[in-house]
Structure 1
Amino acid sequence: MALLRDWEAPSSFAATRNDYVALLRDRGAAAMDRDGGPVHLTASCFIFNTALTHVLLCFHRKGQFWVQVGGHIDAADDTLVVAALREAREESGLTELTVVDGVLDLDSHDLGSAFGRCRTHWDVGIAALSPLSPPRVSHESEEVAWFTVNALPQKLAGSMPRRIASMLDQLRLRQPHGMITGI
């Protein structure tokens, strides 16, 4: 909760950040548990190459759209950042990741019936930088690929263009400060 509470969110995220903090305050650990109810937090990692010209996306098997890597928080995950990195490694096969310090994105989105008991994900997004290494497809996706940030694929999840643009804006402001090397 401290990660979100202490985040000096851009004005476009300030109200949303307060909603997330309230959810965590009101529901405690259940807010981060996929079994804690149909509405819960998830952790995502937007992976960019170090020049910020490419973004790694996966074609989600259940959703049938391109999206960043990420997912549910496991009991063994100490923090949202650890959860996001675990998901990034599992879903992309990339291991050489440099995490940008802190939260950079919040996005609450409703899910379709293909997602079973999950109704709404309150996603917390971090960013990581990686060399343009070949990714590996996991069981959760049909394809994982690098795309230039100026030529994103068709069938993107609804908020992806906005989320990627916002991430890039924030990353360009932070580079080279605010980096921590792989967790």
Structure 2
Amino acid sequence: MSLHADAVSVLSRFAGQDALREAYLGFLAAREDACQRSCAAGHITASALVLDATGSSALLTLHPRVGRWLQLGGHCEPTDSTLAGAALREASEESGIRGLRIEPTPIHLDVHPITCSLGVPTRHFDVRFLVRAPVGARPVRSAESVDLQWWPLDALPSNVDDLYPLIESALARLR
């Protein structure tokens, strides 16, 4: 199965955010290249909210281009065959943590404007997954991050207002 076909399948089964889910599916139906970074109109991305083993802290990255604390994730690569696999690959690369476990069903969707590596304004159709770190996991910052650290869910940095719906979705999944 191709990444595009996986994205259609995963989003067709996604429960919640109905209007946004339908917009994603419409975009995928209109663009065979919707999962490729080269799609200048916008592209599907995959991200991961990495929680520690207790579910009380989130691993966030201080993104160099955006200048804000964000969940881990990014562009799908030609070698990715599933959205969950892309999210897990990104989380592993950006955290340096081995043994991450991903919930295969997305927990949240978000579309946001961004000027990414293409150098022109575009949109990311982000599909967000819940990832759990093993006990005692220690992240190692990659070159894709200015900083990387665990934040208690009840003491997040001040500029993460847009992450609260994602965190609420993750906590609902854990219940």
Do they superpose with TM above 0.5?
A: yes
2:75 equivalent to 1:90: no
Which of 93-102 and 71-80 deviates more? 93-102
Decide which of 156, 162, 171 is 1:159's aligned counterpart. 162
Q: Distance in 2 between matches of 1:167 and 1:76?
A: 27
Deviation at 1:166?
2.2
What TM-score do you get using the length of structure 2 for normalisation? 0.89
Residue correspondences, number: 167
SS in 2 for 1:103: coil
| Inter-CA distance 90–130: structure 2 relative to 1 (3 Å threshold) | same
Deviation at 1:97?
1.0
2:109 equivalent to 1:109: no
| Identity in percent | 34
Q: Distance in 1 between matches of 2:118 and 2:67?
A: 11
SS in 2 for 1:163: helix
In the alignment, structure 1 segments of 5+ residues that lack a partner are 173-183
2:43 equivalent to 1:40: yes
Decide which of 46, 50, 59 is 2:53's aligned counterpart. 50
Q: Distance in 2 between matches of 1:82 and 1:118?
A: 26
Tell me which residue corresponds to 1:4.
Answer: 11
Deviation at 1:22?
1.2
2:143 equivalent to 1:136: no
What TM-score do you get using the length of structure 1 for normalisation? 0.85
- State whether residues 111 and 119 of structure 1, in contact with CA within 8 Å, keep that contact through their aligned partners in structure 2: yes
Deviation at 1:50?
2.6
Q: Distance in 1 between matches of 2:152 and 2:75?
A: 27
In the alignment, structure 2 segments of 5+ residues that lack a partner are 1-7
